[in-house]
Amino acid sequence: MTVCKGCFKPDAADYCANCRKELFDGARVSCYLPFATPARNEKDYLLRSILRPSLPRMILKYNLQQHDRELELLTDGPGTHILKPIPAGNYERLNMAPANEHLTMQLAAQAFKIPVVPNALIYFENASGEPANISRRIYHGGDELKDQFDEACKTVSCYEDVAELMKRYIAAYKPQAEKLFSLVVFNYLFSSWSAANQNVSIVKTSYGDHLLSPAYDIICSSLHTGAGNEILENSLYHGDTVSPGYQRFGYHTGIEFMNFAKRIGMIEKRAQNVLNSFTKNEITVDYLVKRSFLDEESKRAYMDLYREKRDRLLVR
């Protein structure tokens, strides 16, 4: 059965009408790129293959420009889309990285209603049809306040600091604090190694105010590294804060996230409701994982990682 390379909708050879609208302004762009995989810098390729940098640093990004139904690979300039091919490096299942990021982004949007940048899988014209992840660029410059927030975010050490920045840059802070909380819980649930300053930004609305931007760069890192969520676990709040829950179990549970919610000003009942929503949706998660473009072994590993973290969140 053919499925949409964006949302997994059945009986869509390339992209369904809704995904074409979100990704390409409705243009019938093919799921096959008109060029082969870009040549990698040999020195960079060897370094990434020998060393073991963090997974986000291993994922190369290229800029694309859409011209009606065609996508052009750019050598400079931001373009309209971002392309991420299979990364090079000394980790497991790297050929599954584009499908992993695509699935994790779709889970955020479809299963947990977290806004994400429009994204899909796309394939190079190589004989092997190598996959890549494509996402729409939603920021094209010209927002001084956003640039200030992003620059300030580079200096933070934890999500509690991000929340403090949000209080300065976002007028309607409390609803956005809940969105930040949801994103952080999602990252933990799906083993996305995200330091506090890596995938949080703001975006200007049509009314001139600022909100959290749609999520981006979400990927189940543990599927490739075989490690846990140490980066995220060390990024909730300042390191001198060790909760009784962490002292008892040696890893984060729902206790830590309730503590984090309190520290960023969330009402306890609202935080409980958010956590509950992340622990009661296994049917939808299983359905989307099965529809994904991961191979069968990776699907099983992905679900195992999800269930392990889901059980930890149940500990309150």
pLDDT tens, position by position, 113-126: 999 999 999 999 87
Give the pLDDT score at 47: 55
Tell me the sheet residues that pair with 210.
204
pTM of the model: 0.92
Contact 176, 212 (CB under 8 A): yes
Q: DSSP string of 193-225?
A: ---TTTS--EEE-TTS-EEEPPB-S---THHHH
> Which residues lie closer than 8 Å to 50 by C-beta, 6 or more apart?
90
Order of strands, sheet of 62-67, starting from the edge strand that comes earlier in the sequence: 70-73, 62-67, 81-85, 131-136, 119-123
Q: Where in the chain is the domain with CATH 1.10.1070?
A: 144-313
Asked if 114 and 215 count as a contact pair (C-beta separation under 8 A), the reply is: yes
Mean pLDDT of the chain: 88
pLDDT tens digits for range 154-208: 888 889 999 999 999 999 999 999 999 999 999 999 998 767 777 799 999 989 8
CATH number of 144-313: 1.10.1070
Rounded-to-integer distance, Cα 231 and Cα 57, Å: 14
Q: Using the Cα atoms of residue 301, residue 303, residue 304 and residue 305 in order, give the sign of their dihedral.
A: positive
Q: What is the pLDDT of residues 10-40, one digit of tens each?
A: 988 899 999 999 999 999 999 999 998 887 7
Q: What are the tokens at 303?
A: 């679900």
pLDDT digits (tens, 9 = 90+) for 257-293: 999 999 999 999 999 999 999 999 999 999 999 999 9
CB 81 within 8 A of CB 72: no
Confidence of residue 311 (pLDDT cuts 50, 70, 90): very high
Q: Is 75 exposed, middle or buried (0-12, 13-18, 19+ CB in 10 A)?
A: exposed
Provide the pLDDT for residue 227. Answer: 66
